[in-house]
Amino acid sequence: MSATVTTEALKNARIAVLGYGSQGRSHVLNLRDSGLDVVVGLRPGGPTSLKAEADGVTVLSPEEAVKGADLVAVLTPDMVQPKLYSEVIAPNMKAGAALLFAHGFNIHFKTIEPRKDIDVILVAPKGPGHLVRTEFEIGRGVPCLYAVYQDTSGKAKDLAKAYAAGLGGARALLIETDFKEETETDLFGEQAVLCGGASELVMKGFETLVEAGYRPEIAYYEVLHELKLIVDLLYQGGITKMLAYVSETAQYGDYVSGPRIIDAATKERMKAVLTEIQDGTFARNWTAEYKAGLPNYTRWKKADMEHPIEKVGAELRKKMVWLNEPA
């Protein structure tokens, strides 16, 4: 049972966290408050360094943090990690230490080839950084995935579970996986459903209504704003709760029209997306795009931000004062 997992395996270890964004900050503070010895490796004088110091965290240069660490947690963006590994981690990490990731992208797609004398593990909380922190503070936790890629010490799994316990994950649920499964399912979820699928569905719905002569403001409310109501129900109780809380008319429309929009052809295209993730096509394309200076990425992002739904939404959200009120 995950509830019995403790931080014992890291009791006498120094943990160095590289990165102090949303996840990095929550990891550092939760680990510290779990009684573990944790430092953060950041370039001195930067905004994240100042933020960490304000939080009372010990800040070292990345090189110094890595040199003294028994476990190094890499919580920087995916595309930054290969250079960080080759220039900072590999030359300074001591033999027998553990290297931890929160996403398996670079290990699975072999853009990082870890040294053979270290453990390589993964701990991925299934929630954003602020939730990982707030749930910990009230005595609960966010479920975590954990995995072992390389077990040099014979204790890699214990270290991963102890780290997850330090985040509060063992208070909720720990699920063992592997780097392949975590990476490929995470990328697929983002692309086919959560980001790519959802945003395109919203924009195409907006365009359909506006092109049919309906007012953009009303279209915005119907296809974007009210999506939160449905997502919250799905989040809280799955499809069962969503169907229980919407009208019979909405349910009937769900049954007769949903499969016409998201049909067998859509599923086949999802399978194609998954195949490109599995065979490394997406990783190669993304890595090449990053190295080229993000020309397509920048163009696509600009197009999304200039879509009419964003212009209408910006004005409508000014009237929704509750959106900017603290939770």
Q: According to the annotation, is 23 in a ligand binding site?
A: yes
Q: According to the annotation, is 177 in a ligand binding site?
A: no
Cβ atoms of 273 and 188 within 8 Å: the answer is yes
Give the burial class of 120: count Cβ atoms within 10 A of its Cβ; 0-12 exposed, 13-18 middle, 19 or more buried: buried
Q: Which residue has the tokens 């309906």?
A: 214
- Separation in Å, CA 175 to CA 3, 101, 158, 256, 295: 12, 16, 13, 36, 38
Cβ atoms of 15 and 70 within 8 Å: the answer is yes
- Separation in Å, CA 315 to CA 19, 52, 126, 139: 35, 35, 33, 39
Q: According to the annotation, is 268 in a ligand binding site?
A: no
Q: How large is the C-alpha radius of gyration of the chain? A: 22
Tell which residue, 129, 117, 183, 127, has the closest CA to residue 156: 117
Q: According to the annotation, is 34 in a ligand binding site?
A: no
Q: According to the annotation, is 20 in a ligand binding site?
A: yes
Q: According to the annotation, is 21 in a ligand binding site?
A: yes
Q: What is the DSSP letter of 117?
A: T
- Please tell me the distance from the alpha carbon of residue 263 to that of residue 192, in angstroms, as a whole number: 14
Q: 3-class DSSP state for residue 211? A: helix
Which of 103, 108, 225, 307 is catalytic? The answer is 103
Q: According to the annotation, is 247 in a ligand binding site?
A: yes
- Please tell me the distance from the alpha carbon of residue 136 to that of residue 20, in angstroms, as a whole number: 17
Q: 3-class DSSP state for residue 120? A: strand
Half-sphere exposure for 36 (CA within 13 Å, toward CB): 32
Q: According to the annotation, is 220 in a ligand binding site?
A: no
Neighbours of 85 (CB within 10 A): 24
Active site residue 307: no
Annotated binding-site members for NADP(+): 20-23, 43, 48, 129
Catalytic positions? 103
Annotated binding-site members: 20-23, 43, 48, 129, 186, 190, 222, 226, 247
Annotated binding-site members for Mg(2+): 186, 190, 222, 226
Annotated binding-site members for substrate: 247
